Structure 1
Amino acid sequence: DLGYLPRVAFNLDNTLRKCKACGKQILTMCMGFGCNAAGVVACRIINSPRERLIAVLTNNFVPCNGRFPTLITIATLFIGSALAPNYPTLISAVVITVLVILGIGVTFAVSWALSHTILQGEPSFLVLELPPYRKPQIGAIIYRSIIDRTLFVLKRAVLMAAPAGALTWILGNVFVGELNIITHLANYLQPIGKVLGLDGFILLAFILGLPANEIVVPILLMSYLCSGQMVEFESLAELHKILLDHGWTWLTAMNMMLFCLLHWPCSTTLLSIYKETGSKKWVAIAFILPTIIACSVCFMVTQTVRFFQGF
């Protein structure tokens, strides 16, 4: 409505053409900052099927609104407070900005890799109307956001979240021996988590948080405290203490943020990818590709830090 985003797409078209992608992908990435599922749906504006697939498969690397609370909380508790106790908010803002830039960089890199491997082809010409700058029509924006996007995505979210919530409750309240099922699963994942600089509970929280990124931290705290239900805390200091008591360090926090940024899409986004592509193959690739990247990045960061700490 402002006439601004089309100009962003036009100005960045040359950059994306080097990745053999389309400038309109920037518009879908902007939608992804709000919700990756909406960003996937927005890929319909890209005319080329090849470039549309690239945009669909890489939209997940733009941090959505569900991941920002986790990123901000961890950055404030472990990075901002450690580096500048008097200005934790400022430092955490810088960290989040760096993570966003990293996500955009990964988007460009993966777009380039896809366009040179399984989605080879030449970039299409960008044909885009540049509307004049104008005052936003607030009412129209709100209406379209709710009717065309929010309700459309929420319907899919409800379909995925309800059964997943029931499963999480069962895992947290059914005991095998003296431990609930969540603890048993976390212990099983512990060796993998340790290699990635995380722990089994963190990995399990991301797995159970597949329906929505917003519930990853509540599930993690529920698992740590063996409460059987999701918990909330009134202060960040209390949350910080719990994480420290369970062995968190700055390296754990760093890997948590990197994994949160790069890991697999939520179930709503995966369902949207299936609806848009009509192929389980692309859904599988959309899940596996970021999983490999997230695990690889965390592994390299962890092993590099441990190598230098060994001296």
Structure 2
Amino acid sequence: MNLHQESSGEITLLKQKAFNLSSESIRDEIVSSAFRHTLAICQDVTKVKDQSKLLHTEKLDKILTSRLFGFPIMLAMLGIVIYLTIAGANVPSSMLASFFGWLEGYLSLGFQTINAPDWLHGVLVLGLYRGTSWVISVMLPPMAIFFPMFALLENYGYLPRVAFNMDRLFKKTGAHGKQSLTMAMGFGCNAAAIMSTRIIESPRERMLAILTNNFVPCNGRWPTLILLASIFMAAGFTGAAGTLVTAGVVVGMVVFGIIVTLAVSWVLSKTALKGVPTHYTLELPPYRKPQFMNTIIRATIDKSAFVLKRAIVIAAPAGVLTWILANIMVGDTSILMHIVQFLDPFAQQLGLDGFILMAFILGLPANEIVLPILLMGYLSTGAMIEVEDLDSLKKIFIDQGWTWITALNMMLFSLLHYPCGTTLINIYKETKSKKWTFLSFAIPTGLAIAVTFAIAQLARIFGWV
């Protein structure tokens, strides 16, 4: 039997099956048939020099892409990456914070030497410089660890397997399998992930990816999740055990974010973005040994440059604005405190307080500055501050009436709330639509309010607070 006869036979078989299959199953059968036919041709006209490498790839794929082990291995990989990021970022973050603090002393001395007015020192040093240095010290070390590991997994060939595994879930929600790749990019930066959605050809499925990408934590939200998990969720654990518990809690938050991504994608695909998901045909590349040092150096340098640019362009003006609001008085109270008092009644219904909600609002330009703004408000310093000791930091929170419910709701609000300013700008550039940009702001914000409100009310009903 020649290839033409084989093809005719497969077409006849597909026609017979079509009467008993759904449209989705028919597409799967067509693609599978095309793949089998192509594979048969390739086997006839090509030779594999090293059969052991092919067998090695097939053996690994039976494990890494299996229905039984695929997802547990993915979660384990994520846990390892987060654990190493948490454990490895502490020391360099402290070193950078100490360096910037040392440099700030000399900057302040310089302002005193030239008899500069206090307001100028406050705006440029306590606002602009301190806000920018905070962002760099808390964002750069995790970025320098996370992205090289991410790049190594990509070069090794594992990330396409992640997309293959996630494709099953995204297809069921009416989305595209490639959305898993843009979602993975969002772990580093949601703004960059929005641009990466260009790999999705279907406009409908690309819009799904854009509207739901915010539900995975970007690098700017890692500090909030890690810090609060360390202080409240991992209380009583020390050393490696504390880091392990913290990593477990953060992984739980990530999994919850993925569940929300899938749920919102399903709802949108049944309502505002109806349609049939495009079939995702992915050729899995062979596993290969990555260029270790070259990958680490390039990933670190590229992302570091992006972080520094972001800190200067986005976070610096926010630091200046925060200082101004905290130091301009209306009556006997600063503008910042007026904002807090206005927001507090609503924030209490969400299990938060006015200071927390104020910090998220002023942190719109960059998620990294939410924590320093919050601390500044609690301590009424009028400038961004950093408290290095976790015990003293926890005492500040507890003195403000925090419980583990407050910490949990702040983590959830941080995970689910609106995208940062840079991401919103990128969404508008990519969609050229004010409507979709607004929805990308409104959908996560509404979910964040609904989830935290529900938990706060349950906590009151069951007496958890």
> Under TM normalisation by the shorter chain, which class is it?
over 0.9
Partner residue, 1:50: 204
Question: Which sections of structure 1, spanning at least 5 residues, go unmatched?
Answer: none
Instruction: Provide, for residues 249-273 of structure 1, a one-character-per-residue CA deviation record: whole Å limited to 9, x for no partner.
Output: 1111111111111111111111111
- Superposition deviation, residue 200 in structure 1: 0.4
- Rounded to whole Å, the distance in 2 between the matches of 1:8 and 1:51 is 18
Question: 1:139 maps to what in 2?
Answer: 294
Q: Structure 1: how far apart are the matches of 2:431 and 2:312?
A: 21
2 CA distance for matches of 1:180 and 1:285?
33
Q: TM-score, normalised by structure 1?
A: 0.93
Deviation at 1:239, TM superposition (A): 0.6
* Cα pair distance change 1:211/1:20, threshold 3 Å: same
**How far 1:77 moved relative to its partner?**
1.0
The alignment partner of 1:47 has SS state of coil
Matched, 1:201 2:372: no
- Separation in 1, partners of 2:249, 2:230: 9
- Aligned-partner residue type, residue 182 of structure 1: L
1:310–1:259 Cα change, 3 Å: closer
Counterpart residue number, 2:445: 291
1:169 is matched with 323
Greater radius of gyration (CA): 2
Instruction: Give distance in 1, aligned partners of 2:235 and 2:464.
Output: 26
Higher relative contact order (CA 8 A, sep 6+): 1
CA, structure 1 residues 125+158, in 2 after alignment: closer, same or farther (shift >3 Å)?
A: farther
Structure 2 unmatched ranges of 5 or more: 1-154
Q: C-alpha separation between the residues in 1 aligned to 2:167 and 2:338?
A: 49
Structure 2 distance, partners of 1:310, 1:207, is 27
Aligned match of 1:251: 405
Aligned-pair identity in percent equals 58
State the alpha-carbon separation in 1 of the partners of residues 437 and 197 from structure 2: 15
Q: Partners of 1:105 and 1:248 in 2: how far apart?
A: 27
Give me the whole-angstrom Cα distance separating, in 2, the residues matched to 1:194 and 1:162: 30
Among 428, 446, 455, the residue aligned to 1:274: 428
Measured in 2, the distance between the counterparts of 1:266 and 1:212 equals 6
Higher helix share: 2
1:302 paired residue number: 456
Q: Distance in 1 between matches of 2:397 and 2:311?
A: 29
Corresponding letter in the other structure for 1:250? W
Map 1:68-147 → 2, pairs under 5 A: 68-81=222-235, 84=237, 87-137=241-291, 138-139=293-294, 142-143=297-298
State the alpha-carbon separation in 2 of the partners of residues 157 and 88 from structure 1: 30
In structure 2, do the counterparts of structure 1 residues 146 and 282 end up closer, same or farther at CA, with 3 Å as the change threshold? farther
RMSD, matched Cα:
2.2
Q: Shift in Å at residue 308 of structure 1?
A: 1.3
- For 1:252 and 1:141, how far apart are their aligned partners in 2? 38
Q: Alpha-carbon deviation of 1:152? A: 6.2
- Provide the C-alpha distance between the structure 1 equivalents of 2:382 and 2:366, rounded to a whole number of angstroms: 19
Give distance in 1, aligned partners of 2:432 and 2:308: 20
Find the residue that maps to 1:309 and give its secondary structure. coil
Report Cα offsets for 1:9-46 as digits up to 9, x if no partner.
Answer: 12221211100111111111111111111111111111
The one-letter code of the counterpart of 2:428 is: Y
Q: Residue 33 in 1 paired to residue 200 in 2? A: no
